[in-house]
């Protein structure tokens, strides 16, 4: 069965600083990977996805993620964080039977 680990429960960064959120996955076949963001009281919004091809994928809001098969990782990055990026971020892997397995999420706080 697939699984996703987000090792950081809570991260605090200053506005303008760079950001990296970690994600490790476990899946037997080629993974289909996603990053979603959730603002308080809202549903999940897709930031980016990896299906195949270029291992560095670009998403919305200036986010990017890099797939590293050797490390079973799909870390999310942003070069300069904005206060509006404060939210909870979820990494997910899509397996068989339409099952999207999520990590527990990383809460991002942005200090002015």
Partner 1 sequence: ETGVTQTPRHLVMGMTNKKSLKCEQHLGHNAMYWYKQSAKKPLELMFVYNFKEQTENNSVPSRFSPECPNSSHLFLHLHTLQPEDSALYLCASSQASQRGPYNEQFFGPGTRLTVL
Shortest Cβ 9–partner 1 spacing (Å): 9
Nearer CB in complex with partner 1: 32/62: 32
Q: Tokens 């979820």 identify what position?
A: 90
> Residue 71 gets which letter from DSSP?
G
Q: In the complex, which residues of this chain contact partner 1 (CB under 8 A)?
A: 32, 34, 36, 41-46, 49, 51, 90, 94, 96-105
Report the chain's terminal Cα–Cα distance, integer Å.
41
Task: Output the six-digit token pair for 38.
Answer: 């959730």
Residue placing its CB nearer to partner 1 in the complex, 13 or 100:
100
From CA 40, how far away is CA 43, in angstroms rounded? 8
Q: What gap in Å lies between CA 26 and CA 29, rounded to an integer? A: 9
- Give the nearest distance from C-beta 27 to partner 1 in angstroms: 13
Of 67 and 81, which has the nearer Cβ to partner 1? 67
Min separation Cβ 55 and partner 1, Å: 17
């Amino acid at each position: 069965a697939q699984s996703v680990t987000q090792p950081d429960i809570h991260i605090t960064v200053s506005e303008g600083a760079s950001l990296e959120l970690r994600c490790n996955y476990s899946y037997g076949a080629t993974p289909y990977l996603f990053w979603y963001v959730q603002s308080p009281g809202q549903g999940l919004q897709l930031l980016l996805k990896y299906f195949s091809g270029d291992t560095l994928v670009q998403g919305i809001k200036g986010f990017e993620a890099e797939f590293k098969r050797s490390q079973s990782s799909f870390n999310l990055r942003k070069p300069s964080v904005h206060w509006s990026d404060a939210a909870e971020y979820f990494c997910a892997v899509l397996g068989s039977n339409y099952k999207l397995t999520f990590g527990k999420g990383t809460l991002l706080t942005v200090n002015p």
